[in-house]
């Protein structure tokens, strides 16, 4: 997930490449990408109900519970305990950004969260150039998810982005982690 990570869609299996090539373009089909991640049904429901505050609140509660469980259940070295606690401390602020509909800020925070989760799950392998290749060998969908996470850096610049695009990109990752 670091800047040195090879984020080329070319490391992805061929069946994912056409979806990967279009994910961050204006004509992106978020639903097709969500299907490739295995969370299409979940994404469709969230995408259609995102303005329903009760449904969004339920979803964010599930997301937070699942993310905290993932972080807490991850076995780590003693030296990484502070890293784990720091990650847990980031979650409330991240959820707050989503509720405020600050999707650009939330994507920036989400990218940091994903980098930390990658470290907790994969250790130093997560900062190696061949990380995506490594993860794809473990599981194609998991590799596609980490490729997606790597691409989020393209949305951290100062150029204004469409709210709908940012929300769609963010919800893809949230659905995946909620269902992880």
Residue 141's domain comprises 9-178
Q: Is residue 40 part of a domain?
A: yes
| Lowest mean per-residue pLDDT among 22-26, 80-84, 114-118, 172-176 | 22-26
Q: Find out whether 84 and 76 touch, Cβ atoms under 8 Å.
A: yes
Residue 82 domain-assigned (yes or no): yes
User: Which of 24-33, 35-44, 49-58 has the largest mean confidence?
Assistant: 35-44
Check whether 3 has a pLDDT greater than 60: no
Decide if 141 is inside a domain.
yes
Of 67 and 6, the structure prediction assigns the larger pLDDT to 67
Mean pLDDT (whole number) for 56-75: 91
Q: What percentage of the chain has pLDDT greater than the value 90?
A: 39
pLDDT band for position 158 (cuts 50, 70, 90)? low
3-state helix, strand, coil in the chain (%, to 5): 75, 0, 25
Q: Which residue has the tokens 């393209």?
A: 154
How many structural domains are present in the chain? 1
Residue 2 domain-assigned? no
Nearest to 107 by CA among 49, 169, 161: 169
Label residues 32-59 b or e (16+ Cβ within 10 Å = b): ebbebbbbbebbeebbeebeeeeebeeb
In this structure, is residue 1 part of a structural domain? no
In this predicted structure, what is the pLDDT of residue 159?
58
| Residue 117, pLDDT score | 93
pLDDT tier, 173 (very low <50, low <70, confident <90, very high otherwise): very high
Give the residue, 2 or 76, on which the prediction is more confident: 76
Task: Quote the pTM value.
Answer: 0.86
Question: Per the structure block, which two tokens stand in for 100?
Answer: 């405020």
**Using one digit for the tens of pLDDT, what is the confidence trace for 74-120?**
877 787 788 899 999 999 999 999 999 999 899 999 999 999 999 98
Predicted local distance difference test score (pLDDT) of residue 7: 65
Which of residues 34 and 15 earns the better pLDDT score? 34
Q: Is 127 domain-assigned?
A: yes
pLDDT (0 to 100) of residue 166: 87
Exposed (0-12), middle (13-18) or buried (19+): which is 160, by Cβ within 10 Å? exposed
Kindly state whether residue 4 falls inside one of the protein's structural domains. Answer: no
Asked, for residue 3, whether it belongs to a domain, the answer is no
């Amino acid at each position: 997930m670091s800047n040195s990570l090879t984020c080329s869609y070319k490391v992805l299996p061929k069946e994912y490449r056409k979806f990967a090539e279009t994910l961050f373009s204006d004509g992106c089909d978020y639903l097709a990408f969500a299907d490739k991640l295995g969370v299409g049904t979940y994404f469709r429901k969230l995408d259609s109900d995102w303005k329903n505050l009760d449904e969004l609140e339920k979803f964010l509660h599930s997301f937070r519970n699942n993310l905290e469980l993932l972080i807490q259940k991850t076995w780590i070295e003693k030296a990484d305990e502070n890293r784990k606690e720091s990650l847990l401390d980031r979650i409330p602020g991240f959820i707050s950004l989503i509720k405020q509909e600050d999707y650009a800020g939330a994507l920036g925070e989400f990218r940091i969260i994903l980098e930390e989760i990658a470290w907790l799950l994969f250790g130093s392998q997560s900062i190696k150039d061949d990380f995506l290749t490594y993860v794809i060998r473990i599981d194609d969908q998991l590799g596609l998810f980490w490729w997606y996470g790597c691409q989020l850096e393209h949305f951290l610049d100062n150029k204004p982005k469409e709210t709908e695009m940012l929300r769609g990109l963010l919800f893809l990752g949230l659905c995946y982690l909620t269902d992880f």
